[in-house]
Amino acid sequence: MPADIESILRAQSANPLAKVLLAAGHTQSGKADLAAPLWAELRRDLTPDHPLYRLIPPIADGKAATAAPTITVHIAADTLAALPDKARLYVSASLPGEKIPLAVRALAPAARQSIKLTDRDSMTGESISQHPQLTYRAILSADGNVSGTRVAEAETTAAGDAAVMLELP
């Protein structure tokens, strides 16, 4: 996390959103030692019905973590051959019924790819492994922008630790 952003967030330490953003930044940067005390403060300070509370990852209980979901994406050969160089494949996981992803990964398209989405791919700092069911999406964008020109799209809802396959025509 850039130092200037970190200092701005630390200056707002009484603001729970700033604390969530700082903790999520440390989590995504692999700095669990810096993130853990912030998550603990948020668990203590926020009530379970607070809108930011769901972003707090569960406390590790020493058991093996739930397996990360594996999403295998197949792209038809004709589609793949027609893609421009700037095309991107977006693979995401969201709560069922919601469009905003919890985790996302952007990749260069290939005929077949298997992707594991982990908590490090989380956009919010929320642990995706805590959800029993997720909706998985694959979006193929010709212009490289997730909300740009979509060539193909597929989705399925399955267990949070599922191995799923998405076919893009």
In a 10 Å sphere around its CB, with 0-12 CB exposed, 13-18 middle and 19+ buried, how is residue 138 labelled? Answer: buried
pLDDT range class, residue 77, cuts 50, 70, 90: very high
Mean pLDDT (the chain) is 86
**Rounded to whole angstroms, how far apart are CA atoms 145 and 150?**
9
Q: What is the pLDDT of residue 35?
A: 86
With a cut of 50, say whether residue 62 has pLDDT above it. no
pLDDT range class, residue 1, cuts 50, 70, 90: low
**Helix H or strand E segment including 5:** helix 3-11
Percent of the chain with pLDDT over 70: 93
**Rounded to whole angstroms, how far apart are CA atoms 107 and 85?**
12
Q: Is 24 helix (H, G, I), strand (E, B) or coil?
A: helix
Per-domain residue ranges of the chain: 3-55, 70-168
Q: What is the pLDDT of residue 120?
A: 79
Residue 122 and residue 128 in contact, taking contact as beta carbons nearer than 8 Å:
yes
Q: What is the pLDDT of residue 161?
A: 80
Give backbone dihedrals phi and psi of 64, rounded to 5 degrees, phi first: -60, 135
Q: What is the pLDDT of residue 67?
A: 60
Give 87-139 pLDDT, tens digit per residue.
999 999 999 998 889 889 999 999 999 998 887 788 877 778 788 899 999 99
Give 13-22 pLDDT, tens digit per residue.
788 898 888 8
Q: What pTM was computed for the model?
A: 0.63
Its CATH architecture, for the domain 70-168, is Sandwich (2.60)
Question: In angstroms, what CA-CA distances link 157 with 95, 131, 134, 163?
Answer: 9, 12, 6, 11
pLDDT range class, residue 60, cuts 50, 70, 90: low
